[in-house]
Structure 1
């Protein structure tokens, strides 16, 4: 329990700092857009490249474990897309839906990594690296594609494909995966450059999330915030459990997978929402509420998995 709080409290504090800075004269309104662009075009792509280029995936059960993770994210994506007509009937706009989709499918991999490192050790970190390498690229492609088709302006197939392959998150995923698969990787000064930029992404990204908070949105769209929080923190772990049953995954790898499903959505979701015209205030509130609520839900999910193998 304490390890989970240790991992989440700093995230909450940095978000609060961003909220305070936005309401102070220290950083002007115009500068926040520049900071968002820095995160979108440089910092988060550098983090993705570093993560994927250096992920160690040579462990046992890689195919089954990867199949379980992919099953969970595609099942959640299919569920959300199938639910869209119902949500649309309740007045949910495409902009708000794409934020809900990000909140349900994307994940804060570095919270997950810190929890796994503290609780389970090196072998578990290897499984978390597999999770990151397997699901980060398709999650980014899915969310960018849905946003491009729903709110991107020109909705032709060529226009959507063009937006996908010009998106810096997608480019970064391809570059990182290519560096990994070819064995080139990152080393020496080049690795240090990407590490410094990637480390900056987490802190600066959370500051931007805090700056984008509009608490009136929580009340205005309390149903969406509550739904988006439940579907991420309860629904995604349930799908990981289901995938583990289907693919025969148990023990420590199951705990790793459920942690990946039970952590809050990625801080970069807000940056992506702002840049692509989605409902950014809703996204910021989803991130914040999920972080707070996960202090309660994460220990429960971990206890459920560990009860099966300890």
Structure 2
């Protein structure tokens, strides 16, 4: 069985388990959100610090970060074309743009780590440090500028960026790698134990937060923009990688990160910032299901073309 399929099946199985547990209300919705928050501010940073500190980088992966950021910005701008959709509202346009620029980090971590080990985890961490702040800035700008509400909370992107636990973790991890400082054995083991729970908890929370009933409400608009996201971001990423000469494992990780579906947290932000929250839920559900087909298809297409 191909390595990508072998990595994808456990991911989808855990997401499905999370959906089952959410359906059975093993935990209330607030409980799942708390788990997702814990993974984001504690467990994920621990994984990032350790992965980057021990990463066997031969060259600085700045091309990986640049390509993914540019691809996000371009696909976010493409989302403005949604304005031409018949009878579409401003909040819906904001939700579509957000869907175009967000990605499910935990799926990328699981697949990248499964196929490429420590180096894969470190490269996905670099991608996360680049893509998550970019997605947050673009999403907030899109949602607030297209919202029809006037009581929206104020957001300061610069302050949020400086406080982002993933950015802080990347700075620490890269500093350790650059200076050659090794973590003490007990500290390294403690961080390793924290990071070990990241992917499983993140995937379970993602599954629990997915609204399967949204598939029944999804129409042509949801299908079209889901395909734009699932195919468009990888296409832009591949084009950028070819232009900048990105090769090998970094190229493969860039494709993985661009191919995963949008983040489940986009529903919450759409609801908070005046976006079309039902449409956001529809896009999450549709993309999660479609990605089971699109992700392997993109991977095999790249292999057939000899890109990595």
TM-score scaled by length of structure 1: 0.75
The residue aligned with 1:120 is none
Alpha-carbon deviation of 1:137? 1.7
Structure 1: gaps spanning 5 or more residues: 118-124
Residue 103 of structure 1 aligns to a residue whose secondary structure is coil
C-alpha distance in 2, partners of 1:34/1:133?
Answer: 22
User: Alignment RMSD, CA only?
Assistant: 3.6
Equivalent residues in 2 for 1:116-265, closer than 5 Å? 116=116, 126=119, 128=120, 131-132=123-124, 134-151=126-143, 153-155=152-154, 159-223=156-220, 225-227=222-224, 229-249=226-246, 252=248, 256=252, 259-260=255-256, 263-265=259-261
Equivalent residues in 2 for 1:109-120, closer than 5 Å? 109-116=109-116
The residue aligned with 1:80 is 75
> Does structure 2 retain, via aligned residues, the 8 Å contact 1:100–1:224?
no
Alpha-carbon deviation of 1:226? 3.5
1:94 has 2:94 as partner: yes
> Does structure 2 retain, via aligned residues, the 8 Å contact 1:217–1:282?
yes
Residue 103 of structure 2 aligns to a residue whose secondary structure is helix
The residue aligned with 1:270 is 264
1:54 has 2:61 as partner: no
Superposed CA offset, 1:52-88 (max 9, x none): 332221x2xx36x643x34531332221232233224
Superposed CA offset, 1:129-159 (max 9, x none): 6743643322122122224445574557xx2
> Does structure 2 retain, via aligned residues, the 8 Å contact 1:104–1:236?
no
Equivalences, count: 290
Alpha-carbon deviation of 1:169? 2.8
Alpha-carbon deviation of 1:111? 0.2
TM-score scaled by length of structure 2: 0.75
Alpha-carbon deviation of 1:283? 6.4
- Runs (4+) of structure 1 moved beyond 6 Å? 104-107
> Does structure 2 retain, via aligned residues, the 8 Å contact 1:4–1:295?
no
Residue 270 of structure 1 aligns to a residue whose secondary structure is coil
C-alpha distance in 1, partners of 2:37/2:292?
Answer: 27
C-alpha distance in 2, partners of 1:272/1:185?
Answer: 37
